Structure 1
């Protein structure tokens, strides 16, 4: 039997897709690429466990529309949310599009997959932290070396509205502390850099932290937040930072019921962005602070406050009422005729 191009092994191009195409041609960040890698890994597990195939037997021709639908149904049974299922589907479509650019026989397979619609994903109102909840969480760290590190991390996370990965990637060379206008340089998605200015209180916390953790550091490439394992300093992991925040939020919830059940690093970013918008900061400036390349991405943070809604309603209320005046006076016959009476 003649071997056709569609008999090419499905996973034969994943390395080039993940390690060359996504970072070099699409400019995706390492964390974004990791999400694509995870999606393809989950699909591989589906192929092995439910289709009883291997990476050495599953071909592109086997990735039919029915196969993809079965994969999505499997994800649903495993309890994956609509958003997660949509991300897995988008990854498959992206991968098939990449392969079809160099292998024309894959185009029909890509077109069939592209016709599969994403699952409807109802928008849920995303929680933000109230002022009381923020104060409760910030009050939890002890005034010891570890506590000061953890409190500084959370304060910077909130005050700069950075993504947790951006904050943990900050190095000493990115910090510029001056008498006026102290700021840090953050590298966001697509390796885009942006300056983020710090409040005076945050600068004081940062200086105190650095006096403990970087008193004599001459290596400007050192990460601002680090952990020491077997005597070696390394960048603090996202998972470690998440555990720290969840630990303090759990303790703070016992004292302040306003602390949400599931506090995560991104909630600090969302809280500041929402507060800025509600206080009158333009969406363009909020978008710039967050490092969004498209202002539409920022609109999810544009949640109006009750005061903004009330003022909007009051602004359209008429200030005066037009009084009706009589068009006639003491004309009884005309009045009777007008009312259809005798």
Structure 2
């Protein structure tokens, strides 16, 4: 993993999911590039997934001695915190080394999720009478139905799909392989896409085994998947800020809500630590709290009367 790779991904995230203005986007990326230069020159080229709190604190201290304004210093910290929060959300890191840069530790980050109704509205916004629409339908169904990262989605090989056993062999983060079950509904959609839609496209020889292709017959990019989801979300009237990762979060949350064991969810998501998967138990706890506050008679004003 390199700084340049993660900074580029962060830029895509800010541009397409957070809808940052060009000026704000440029400022954030410029701040993180300065941190990259510091890591390369003063920290023996330490990577973004291993840099620690003490490193970041020393970096901010060195900058503060250069008589920058308090406003500039506040923006550096804001940029750095946003960058490492993104790395946690994208599961590059399990911890956030920037969380203590300002005062007390921030609360646990709880990712946005979609209700099943929202997901159905987004899928319902797809025009499935076109080849492009059928492809996009499969993309959304696989993101949600299999809980994949967007990087895993665009790398799926047809040869790694077993329709006999209904699973996809996924090469995940850290080059770790896992086998993700395919629901019968999702498997049927993929079979039809491969046999009826994909073969109609001109396919670049290098990508003959790649499942999802762009109009040039080559592998899709993360940006294209972001844009597809943004367009469908707007069309469906879903107001939440949604990224490909939102479907992964929703997959895990819905499994947990329906009684799936956290260990099985860990395996399907490809988390190396149960701690990472444990964030979804907090989502369930939040839901339980709301139910109690809304429906428990001891919290009902009429009961108190």
**Normalising by structure 2, what TM-score?**
0.65
User: What is the aligned partner in structure 1 of residue 154 from structure 2?
Assistant: 168
Superposition map of 1:1-342 within 5 A: 28=1, 34-35=5-6, 42=30, 46=34, 60=42, 66-69=61-64, 74=72, 76-77=74-75, 80=78, 83-84=81-82, 86=84, 117-119=100-102, 120-142=105-127, 143-178=129-164, 181-211=165-195, 212-214=197-199, 222-229=209-216, 233-253=217-237, 259-302=238-281, 303-304=283-284
8 Å contact kept, 1:174–1:184: yes
Give me the whole-angstrom Cα distance separating, in 2, the residues matched to 1:84 and 1:148.
35
Q: Please state whether the residue corresponding to 1:280 is helix, strand or coil.
A: coil
CA shift digits 1:127-172 (9 cap, x unpaired)? 2111211111011111211100001100010000000111111112
1:45: how far off?
A: 5.5
2:236 partner SS:
helix
Q: Deviations over 1:2-29 (max 9, x none)?
A: xxxxxxxxxxxxxxxxxxxxxxxxxx5x
Cα separation, 2, equivalents of 1:304 and 1:59: 44
Tell me the CA shift for residue 81 of structure 1. Answer: 5.2
CA–CA distance in structure 2, aligned partners of residues 130 and 301 of structure 1 = 14
Deviation of the 1:197 alpha carbon: 1.1
- CA RMSD in angstroms comes to 4.0
Q: Secondary structure at the match of 2:170?
A: strand
Higher RCO (CA-CA < 8 Å; seq separation 6+): 2
Return the index of the structure with the highest Cα Rg. 1
Q: CA deviation at 1:78?
A: 6.7
Question: Deviation string for 1:84-130 (max 9, x for gaps)?
Answer: 25579x9xxxxxxxxxxxxxxxxxxxxxxx9x953443445432111
Do the aligned partners of residues 43 and 260 (structure 1) sit closer, same or farther apart at CA in structure 2, a change above 3 Å counting? closer
Q: What is the CA–CA distance in structure 1 between the aligned matches of 2:187 and 2:9, rounded to whole Å?
A: 38
Match of 1:15 in 2: none
DSSP-derived class of the 1:226 partner: coil
